[in-house]
Structure 1
Amino acid sequence: MAALRILQIVHDHPDWTLGGTEIVAHDLHRALVRRGIASHFLAAATSLQRPDAAAGSLGRQGGDMVLRTGRYDRFMMNRLDGLGWLDSLRRLIADVRPEVVHLHGLDRIGAEIVPAIRRLAPATRIVLTLHDYQIICPNEGLLQTRPDGTRCRAARPDACRACFPQLGADRHALRKTYLATILRGVDRFLVPSRFLRDRFIDWGLPAERLHFIPNAVAPLALIQERPRAQRNRFAFFGSIAPHKGVLTLLEAAAQLKSGGADLRIALHGGLRQPEPAFRAAFEAHLAAARPLVQHPGAYDRTALASRMADTDWVVVPSLWWENAPLVILEAQAAGRPVIASGIGGMAELVKDGQTGLLAPPGDAAALAETMAAAASDPGLWSRLAVAQPKASHEGFVDAHLETYGSLLEKRCAA
């Protein structure tokens, strides 16, 4: 297995964006390198990260490679920045000579990278991990309608017009046909949650091509436990964005404040280019919830262990389906029970009353009631804390190596 050559490709780098996809992909890459595998990591870089680089050019970020991207059609998932990136990809493939290219999504890199790899390296096997619903849903992959945020279980051309009324149903049908054709070039799809798998089966991918490998996190730094008589410290970790349910959490906090609850809530995360209306709503809700709520802001991943140490309960109040939220896996690795919305991949990772607590998405009153009950019952915290599942990152890496190996065996047998 030491001779195996892998190229991991992702739409961003964890040095710039602490998203789950970026972290999972980079941790996988580093674990492969530690095992002696010739793994290489390529991330997209925008003008924000590489303002002086030409679109399509290759650069470096530490020991990793970055591909400068330019204009991009988010609806069709197409590159609009010329063909320079193809020359860069050709040189990269000639240098790395990957036996397997593992794509972690197609966003920003562009869907046309699949046929490009097929043309440049016909014998290379292509793996695509479906970390989100971007391919199904052109509304940022959220499977939510705009502006009311109603959740969609599937994408239908007529229903998608609620988000894109300027585009006819034929454009949505054309998008699906185009992407489905592109995906025929993928040898194997990996999915981190069964809920997401069902969504892609409904969209049209054959069930036998979707292989379930649950995500896992690399071991966290050792957390120094701080015994407390009360377990009344709650924390949110992630981007401050509408679909993450932050306003629901702040509404719940305001209700708890008016009831005289004895607890504290920390919001760990930054506002990433928010719409002015959401920024104004967030600031107003935050002001109404203070002093119960504090907003320490964005954090570096190296600070995660210390922030988890100051936390008893991790709250994940997302309004969208989620897939396999990294924050839940990080909380479980840290022995911190999670209070999450009982939908999508969250409901797969958190078992209500067994490993954590579930509340209806968008229901501030129910969330406040759940948090109040959690804060008032130290015994509940102790029971749930010791029951936290510990997903093995070594097992996660083994599953990927098995996937790569099986694809190469099939190639040799062909």
Structure 2
Amino acid sequence: MKILFLSNMYPPHVIGGYEALCEEAADGLEKRGHQVTVLTSTYGYQDEIVEGNIYRLLSLEGDLQFYRMKDAWKYPSRKKQNLVHLRRLISTEKPDVVFIWGMWNLSRSLAWEAERLMGSRVVYYLANPWPIEANIHQAFWDAPATTFVKRLAKRLMRIPIRVILRKEWEKVPLNFEHAPSCSAAQRDQLLKAGVPLQDAPVIYEGIDLRNYLIQAAKRTYDNRDDILSLVFVGILAEHKGVHTTIEALNQLSAEERQRVRLTILGKGHSQYEQRLWTLVSECQLSDVVTFHAPIPRSELPEFLGRFDALLLPSIWAEPLARVMQEGLASGMVVVGSSNGGTAETISHGENGLLFEAGDAAGLAAQIKRLMNNPSLRQDLAKNGRRTAEERFDINKMVSEIETYLKDVDDKARAV
């Protein structure tokens, strides 16, 4: 098959696991003999660039962290040029299937145009809730201003901005005829919000398990130094709930604090990072909490092998956290919020532990359970590793995607 991937971002410049997974799916399909082309944004690059079968041509709607007024003025021309790139690539490559991944920070009109040109040959892989998220312009202009000057500026500019971006305030009527999701939690969230998913099976995300299972095999679970080592890995952002981990440690007794260490690996918005540093200082946890800069993904298996438990304190309902899969495969105990794909994967007390999102006391209670019960840690970790092996193998994911795309292509040819 000839498959055209459409994604807002593509490695090496990404903001999360969705984009990395897109590359792995593309590589996996290409290795199986399919002709793969990728259309993505220039994120991480100064100009448009073509690298083999990867076309980095699209312009994102705006900066990822700070909204800039000029992005609103540039929106019409960016949208027009993005549509030109999509039409041209469909015309020249003549794909059998257009495979749409993350679309946040790109106009929905791209997906609409793909459906217009390709009909039933458009497939979505939904691994975050972008179909129900506000675009960055709407999110900024509809949000309340924090100062008098900003309120005045927004009041004066809102009408002309709405005229310029009127199409973006309207819902683009996408069909989602073929729309597998990364988890039942993600699918159900979109259906509940009114997204008209038609054929929507669950195809679980996968990872290359090999290096993680090697780390799992090295574990002894004896914990001779009597220190419970915890780690958070991910973007440092409010919705990830990193502050909950610090608040939970603050609820431990002085003696318990001596028996636990937390490493926070990642980076994020500078204001939120400052909030975390301040919280650690105020809670007098500088000897307990360590901040670690991001590392290359190739180093992650060995890094995770140093820790007993992975914390997933997300406030928002994670569709299916990639790092959860990696933690399970590494032989770690996963302690996560009881929402989204985490609750779908983790059976409390069997292959991990759960707590209510944002509940620092609840998280503290689960940390204490692990501190005081080494045999529980071992049982949870081994069962978690088995879950990863059975459910989250990248080859299984690619096989299921390949079968699904082939079925879409076959049905389209039969019409």
Going from structure 1 to structure 2, the CA distance change for 1:400 and 1:71 (only over 3 Å counts) comes to: closer
Which residue is equivalent to 2:222?
Answer: 229
How far did residue 211 of structure 1 move? 2.2
How far did residue 83 of structure 1 move? 2.4
Which residue is equivalent to 2:357?
Answer: 361
* Partner of residue 241 from structure 2, selected from 220, 245, 252: 245
Residue 213 (1) aligns with residue 209 (2): no
One-letter amino acid of the structure 2 residue matched with residue 245 of structure 1 = G
Residue 60 (1) aligns with residue 50 (2): yes
How far did residue 125 of structure 1 move? 0.9
Report the secondary structure of 1:408's partner residue.
helix
**Taking every aligned residue pair, what percent have the same amino acid on both sides?**
23
Report the secondary structure of 1:43's partner residue.
strand
Report the secondary structure of 1:265's partner residue.
strand
TM-score by structure 2 length? 0.81
How far did residue 323 of structure 1 move? 0.8
**Contact 2:8 2:60 (C-alpha < 8 Å) held by counterparts:** no
Rounded to whole Å, the distance in 2 between the matches of 1:349 and 1:213 is 13
How far did residue 44 of structure 1 move? 1.5
Residue 279 (1) aligns with residue 269 (2): no
Pairwise CA RMSD: 3.2
User: Greater relative contact order: 1 or 2 (C-alpha under 8 angstroms, separation 6 or more)?
Assistant: 2
How far did residue 384 of structure 1 move? 1.1
TM-score by structure 1 length? 0.81
How far did residue 104 of structure 1 move? 0.6
1:261-340, aligned counterparts within 5 Å?
Answer: 261=257, 262-271=259-268, 273-274=269-270, 276=271, 278-287=272-281, 288-340=284-336
Runs of 4 or more above 6 Å deviation: 73-76, 164-168, 173-176
**Contact 2:177 2:197 (C-alpha < 8 Å) held by counterparts:** no
How far did residue 80 of structure 1 move? 5.0
How far did residue 357 of structure 1 move? 0.1
Residue 108 (1) aligns with residue 105 (2): yes
How far did residue 111 of structure 1 move? 0.9
Which residue is equivalent to 1:195?
Answer: 185
- The answer to which structure has the higher helix fraction is 2
**Contact 2:261 2:289 (C-alpha < 8 Å) held by counterparts:** yes
One-letter amino acid of the structure 2 residue matched with residue 406 of structure 1 = D
1:42-191, aligned counterparts within 5 Å?
Answer: 42-46=39-43, 49-51=44-46, 53=47, 57=48, 59-60=49-50, 64-72=54-62, 81=78, 83-119=80-116, 121-122=117-118, 125-138=121-134, 178-179=171-172, 181=173, 183-184=174-175, 186-191=176-181
Which residue is equivalent to 1:156?
Answer: none
**Contact 1:79 1:110 (C-alpha < 8 Å) held by counterparts:** no
One-letter amino acid of the structure 2 residue matched with residue 282 of structure 1 = L
Rounded to whole Å, the distance in 2 between the matches of 1:123 and 1:136 is 22
Rounded to whole Å, the distance in 1 between the matches of 2:112 and 2:198 is 22
Which residue is equivalent to 1:396?
Answer: 397
Going from structure 1 to structure 2, the CA distance change for 1:82 and 1:346 (only over 3 Å counts) comes to: closer
**Contact 1:11 1:106 (C-alpha < 8 Å) held by counterparts:** yes
Going from structure 1 to structure 2, the CA distance change for 1:79 and 1:336 (only over 3 Å counts) comes to: farther
One-letter amino acid of the structure 1 residue matched with residue 246 of structure 2 = L
Report the secondary structure of 2:130's partner residue.
coil
- Flag structure 1 segments of 5+ consecutive residues without an equivalent: 148-163
Report the secondary structure of 2:250's partner residue.
helix
**Contact 1:29 1:39 (C-alpha < 8 Å) held by counterparts:** yes
How far did residue 373 of structure 1 move? 1.3
**Contact 1:70 1:79 (C-alpha < 8 Å) held by counterparts:** no
Rounded to whole Å, the distance in 2 between the matches of 1:167 and 1:98 is 41
Going from structure 1 to structure 2, the CA distance change for 1:28 and 1:377 (only over 3 Å counts) comes to: same
Report the secondary structure of 1:209's partner residue.
coil
How far did residue 362 of structure 1 move? 0.9
